[in-house]
C-alpha cells in the first residue's frame, strides 16, 4: 500500500538525531562478502530498501544472509549462481558492483545492464573498461553483460578512469583485491565511502593503498578472510538534517557522525550563516541570522556532493538574495525544481545551472519525491513551509533515510506517514 508523508511546517527542529550507517558505504561493503568463503559481519548497517535489495541480489547468488538489528552476517561459501537479474538491477544500480568480485573469485559473471534512471543515462562503461584492462572479455546479450576472466584469473592493470566514478572505483577495487599482481587506479574517486571499502578489504587481508587520493594501488592477494567491520556514518543523511536544522531556525545535535566527511558542505553552510560546534561524537548546527544566498557547484569529493544539491536548493529557496547552483555530475538532477516551485520557490533553470531567488516563505503543497535526494529536498522545504505539505512516492525516501519521521518527530517536527488515498 503506497504511503505519503504529511508535514506541518514552521516548527524549529530542536534536539538530537542519531545518524545511521552510510547506505552508500554499506552497499559495496556487503558486496565484498563475495570475495571470501568465510563469514563476514557488518555492523551499523542501516535498515533501508536499498539494503534489502542488495541482500536479495546476494541471496540470488547463494549468499546466506542473517539480520540482527543493524548487524548483517553474510556467508558466501556456497555460491550457486553468478547472475544478477534485471528485476533487481533495474531497481538499484549498485547491484552491478557484484561484477568485479564474481569475476575475481569465480571467473565469470552475468549482470544485467541497469538501463537509464531518474538521474540520466548513467552508463557503466567505465566499470567495463577497467575490467577489460584486467583481461576480462565482455559481451552484451539480451540486455546482460556476459563477462569472463582469463583462464588463469584476473590480471592486475594500470587503469586511468575517463570520468571520476564512485561505482567503477569500487568495482575495480573489489576485483583487484584478489587479482594477480598490481593494479593502479588513476583518477579514482576520493569519497569517504571508498576509504571505508579499502579499510574493510584490508581488514580481510587485502593490500589496498592510497584510498582517499586519486591514485589507488592494490597488490592482489591469493584469498581473503572474513572480518567484522563497522559501516561509516551516513554523511548524506548528516548533511540533510543539518540543512533541515538551518531552514527551520532550529538547533540540532547530530551524533554518531562527523563534520570531517563534509568539508565543502560545512564551508558552504557557514557562508550561508550556519554555526557549527564540534562535539566528541558529532556536532551541533544552528542558523545565526538570515540564510544568505551562496553559489554552489556539485563536484566529485571533496567537492559539494550532488546528493546534497536538492536539500541545499530547498534551503536556498528562502535565502536572502540569490544562489546559483550548478550540477556537474548528473545531467538530469533538477527534477525537484518544479516541485519546489509548487511550494512557491522562485527558480529558473538554464542548462546545468539553476538560479534561485530567495522568497520570504514557502507554502505547503502536494509534491512528489522524484529520487532519494529530491525527496529529502521536499522534506527540508516542507519543514519550513507555511501549512501542510503532502509528499508522495515515499519509496524513494525509504531507499535512503532510516526511520525518517521518527527522527524528525523526536526533534519537534509535525510529520506523519499515512496510507495514500488511491
Ligand atoms: C554513486 O553512484 C552514489 N551511489 C550516488 O548516490 C551518487 O550520486 C554518485 O555516486 C555520485 O556521487 C552509490 O554510492 C550507491 P558515479 P554511482 O559512477 O557510483 C558517470 C544516492 O542518492 N559514469 O560516480 O553510480 C555517471 O553517469 C545515489 O544515494 C559514466 O559515464 O555514480 C555520472 O554522470 C544517487 N560511466 C558520473 O559518472 C560509468 O561507467 C558519476 O557517477 C560510470 C559513471
Q: What is the 3-state secondary structure (H, E, C) of 172-226?
A: HHHHHCCCECEEEEECCCCCHHHHHHHHHHHHCCCEEECECECEEEEECCCCCCC
Alpha-carbon separation of residue 13 from 252, 316, 343, 345 (angstroms): 7, 18, 20, 21
Q: Indicate the DSSP class of residue 290.
A: S
Ligand 1 atom 3: residue of nearest CA: 24
- pLDDT at residue 121, rounded to an integer: 60
Domains and CATH numbers, the chain: 3-19+233-419 (3.65.10.10), 23-230 (3.65.10.10)
Q: Which of 95, 35, 43, 33 is nearest to 67 (CA)?
A: 43
Centroid of ligand 1 to alpha carbon of 164 (angstroms): 9
Centroid of ligand 1 to alpha carbon of 129 (angstroms): 16
Pocket test for ligand 1, best of 122, 132, 196 (most atoms within 8 A of CB): 122
Cα of first residue to Cα of last residue in the chain, in angstroms, is 10
- pLDDT at residue 403, rounded to an integer: 97
pTM of the model: 0.97
Residues 6+ positions from 362 with CB-CB distance below 8 Å: 9, 317, 318, 340, 343, 344, 345, 381, 384, 385, 386
Do β-strands 228-230 and 274-279 pair in parallel, antiparallel, or remain unpaired? Answer: unpaired
- pLDDT at residue 420, rounded to an integer: 84
Residues with CB under 6 Å of ligand 1 are 24, 27, 93-94, 122-127, 163, 165-168, 306-307, 329-330, 372-373, 400
Residues 22-61 pLDDT 10s: 999 999 999 999 999 999 999 999 999 999 999 999 999 9
Residues 6+ positions from 73 with CB-CB distance below 8 Å: 39, 40, 41, 65, 66
Given the CA of residue 25, which atom of ligand 1 is nearest to it? 14
Centroid of ligand 1 to alpha carbon of 414 (angstroms): 33
- pLDDT at residue 119, rounded to an integer: 65
Given the CA of residue 329, which atom of ligand 1 is nearest to it? 34
* Pairwise CA distance, residues 67 & 143, whole Å: 32
Centroid of ligand 1 to alpha carbon of 419 (angstroms): 32
Catalytic residue list contains 319: no
Residues 6+ positions from 268 with CB-CB distance below 8 Å: 294, 296, 304, 312
Ligand 1 atom 17: residue of nearest CA: 167
Ligand 1 atom 27: residue of nearest CA: 122
Ligand 1 atom 16: residue of nearest CA: 165
Ligand 1 atom 13: residue of nearest CA: 24
Number of residues that this document lists for the chain:
422
- pLDDT at residue 421, rounded to an integer: 75
Centroid of ligand 1 to alpha carbon of 122 (angstroms): 7
Tally of CB atoms within 10 A around 272: 22
* Pairwise CA distance, residues 174 & 102, whole Å: 9
Alpha-carbon separation of residue 296 from 18, 34, 273, 327 (angstroms): 27, 39, 15, 9
- pLDDT at residue 117, rounded to an integer: 62
Q: What is the pLDDT along the chain (422 residues), one digit of tens a residue?
A: 789 999 999 999 999 999 999 999 999 999 999 999 999 999 999 999 999 999 999 999 999 999 999 999 999 999 999 999 999 999 999 999 999 999 999 999 999 988 666 666 668 999 999 999 999 999 999 989 999 999 999 999 999 999 999 999 999 999 999 999 999 999 999 999 999 999 999 999 999 999 999 999 999 999 999 999 999 999 999 999 999 999 999 999 999 999 999 999 999 999 999 999 999 999 999 999 999 999 999 999 999 999 999 999 999 999 999 999 999 999 889 999 999 999 999 999 999 999 999 999 999 999 999 999 999 999 999 999 999 999 999 999 999 999 999 999 999 999 999 988 76
Q: Furthest-apart CA pair in the chain: how many Å?
A: 66
Pocket test for ligand 1, best of 121, 138, 167 (most atoms within 8 A of CB): 167
* Pairwise CA distance, residues 276 & 283, whole Å: 7
State the catalytic residue, choosing from 117, 200, 319, 411: 117
Amino acid at each position: 500500500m503506497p504511503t505519503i508523508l504529511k508535514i506541518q511546517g514552521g516548527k524549529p527542529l530542536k534536539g538530537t538525531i542519531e545518524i545511521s550507517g552510510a547506505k552508500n558505504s554499506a552497499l559495496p561493503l556487503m558486496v565484498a562478502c563475495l570475495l571470501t568463503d568465510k563469514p563476514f559481519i557488518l555492523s551499523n548497517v542501516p535498515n533501508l530498501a536499498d539494503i534489502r535489495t542488495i541482500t536479495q541480489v546476494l541471496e540470488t547468488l547463494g549468499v546466506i544472509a542473517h539480520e540482527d538489528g543493524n548487524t548483517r552476517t553474510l556467508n558466501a561459501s556456497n555460491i550457486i549462481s553468478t547472475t544478477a537479474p534485471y528485476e533487481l538491477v533495474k531497481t538499484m544500480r549498485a547491484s552491478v558492483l557484484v561484477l568485479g568480485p564474481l569475476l575475481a573469485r569465480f571467473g565469470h559473471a552475468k549482470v544485467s545492464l541497469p538501463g537509464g534512471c531518474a538521474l540520466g543515462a548513467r552508463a557503466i562503461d567505465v566499470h567495463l573498461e577497467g575490467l577489460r584492462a584486467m583481461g576480462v572479455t565482455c559481451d552484451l546479450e539480451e540486455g546482460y553483460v556476459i563477462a569472463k576472466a582469463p583462464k588463469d584469473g584476473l590480471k592486475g592493470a594500470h587503469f586511468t578512469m575517463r570520468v571520476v566514478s564512485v561505482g567503477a572505483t569500487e568495482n575495480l577495487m573489489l576485483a583487484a583485491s584478489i587479482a594477480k599482481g598490481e593494479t593502479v587506479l588513476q583518477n579514482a574517486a576520493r569519497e569517504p565511502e571508498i576509504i571505508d571499502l579499502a579499510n574493510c578489504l584490508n581488514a580481510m587481508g587485502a593490500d589496498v593503498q592510497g584510498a582517499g587520493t586519486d591514485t589507488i594501488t592494490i597488490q592482489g592477494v591469493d584469498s581473503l578472510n572474513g572480518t567484522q567491520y563497522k559501516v561509516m556514518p551516513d554523511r548524506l543523511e548528516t548533511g540533510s538534517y543539518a540543512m533541515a536544522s538551518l531552514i527551520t531556525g532550529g538547533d540540532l545535535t547530530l551524533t554518531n557522525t562527523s563534520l570531517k566527511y563534509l568539508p565543502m558542505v560545512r564551508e558552504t553552510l557557514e557562508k550561508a550563516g550556519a554555526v557549527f560546534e564540534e562535539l566528541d561524537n558529532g556536532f551541533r548546527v544552528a542558523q545565526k541570522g538570515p540564510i544568505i544566498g551562496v553559489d554552489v557547484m556539485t563536484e566529485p569529493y571533496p567537492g559539494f556532493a550532488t546528493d546534497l544539491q536538492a536539500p541545499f536548493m530547498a534551503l536556498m529557496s528562502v535565502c536572502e538574495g540569490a544562489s546559483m547552483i550548478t550540477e556537474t555530475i548528473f545531467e538530469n538532477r533538477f527534477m525537484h525544481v518544479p516541485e519546489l516551485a509548487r511550494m512557491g520557490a522562485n527558480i529558473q533553470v538554464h542548462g546545468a545551472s539553476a538560479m534561485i531567488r530567495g522568497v520570504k516563505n514557502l507554502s505547503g503543497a502536494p509534491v512528489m519525491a522524484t529520487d532519494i535526494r529530491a525527496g529529502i529536498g521536499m522534506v527540508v522545504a516542507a519543514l519550513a513551509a507555511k501549512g501542510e505539505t503532502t509528499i508522495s512516492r515515499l519509496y524513494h525516501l525509504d531507499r535512503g533515510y532510516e526511520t525518517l519521521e521518527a527522527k524528525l518527530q523526536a526533534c519537534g517536527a509535525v510529520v506523519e506517514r499515512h496510507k495514500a488515498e488511491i
